Amino acid sequence: MNRILFSAVLRRCARVVFGVCLVLVMAGSGLAANTYTDLKGRFAFDLPEGWSMNSSPADGLFIFKGPSAETMIVMYDEEAKDADKLVQSAAETFKGSGAPNAVLEGTVKKLTVNTSPARWAIYAGTVDAGTVKVKLFGVVGAVAMKDGGGLFMVNILNDSGRSKWEKQLEKTFQSIRTP
């Protein structure tokens, strides 16, 4: 009887340890991220820790905020089919956010995000904030969804925000998928 009881306790302990390890592995891999899923089921992606939806002022337009002053604008277009046009729209959105003279840093990268054609680029511009000029970066991505429609993402960051968030936001972009 002791052997059976010991075996049952051992199995139960093993399940608890496995569950704790699974949660730790998921958190370390980013799988336990805060996932945003569009209410109409058009797309989903994993937000970095500390980011949340701020507002959705129009159908297909979503604004997310980071823990400090970071902003992410996501625009979904059900008619979009071309990642190049979408990334141009992303660049124009960044420029329209107060950095009209923003320029592309390097080149637009051609990527694939979950089997869909995608683009990734970084723009740098200066915003005139009264007596101070602030350098901002538009870390932008665009994906033409394989199942139809497309979206672009514009991340507006200052210098310190760029160094802290650029890699994590690229992972967020790479996580875009159809739910």
Closest among 128, 126, 123, 127 to 91, alpha carbons compared: 123
Backbone angles phi, psi at 74, to 5 degrees: -120, 130
C-alpha neighbours within 13 Å on the C-beta side of residue 73: 20
The distance from CA 46 to its chain's CA centroid, rounded to whole angstroms, is 6
Backbone angles phi, psi at 121, to 5 degrees: -155, 160
- The CATH code that applies to domain 34-174 is 3.40.1000.10
SS3 at position 163: helix
- Over the chain (179 residues), the average pLDDT of each successive run of 10 is 38 33 35 80 95 93 93 96 96 94 97 96 92 93 94 94 93 95
Pairwise CA distance, residues 91 & 148, whole Å: 22
What is the reported pLDDT for 23?
33
Q: Could you tell me where the DSSP H helices lie in 61-111?
A: 83-96
| Three-state secondary structure readout of 18-70 | HHHHHHHHHHHHCCCCEEEECCCCCCEEEECCCCEEEEEEECCEEEEECCCCC
Pairwise CA distance, residues 125 & 48, whole Å: 24
Does the pTM surpass 0.95? The reply is no
Q: Confirm if 76 and 58 have CB atoms less than 8 A apart.
A: no
SS3 at position 80: coil
What is the reported pLDDT for 102?
96
Closest among 22, 30, 71 to 51, alpha carbons compared: 71
What is the reported pLDDT for 33?
59
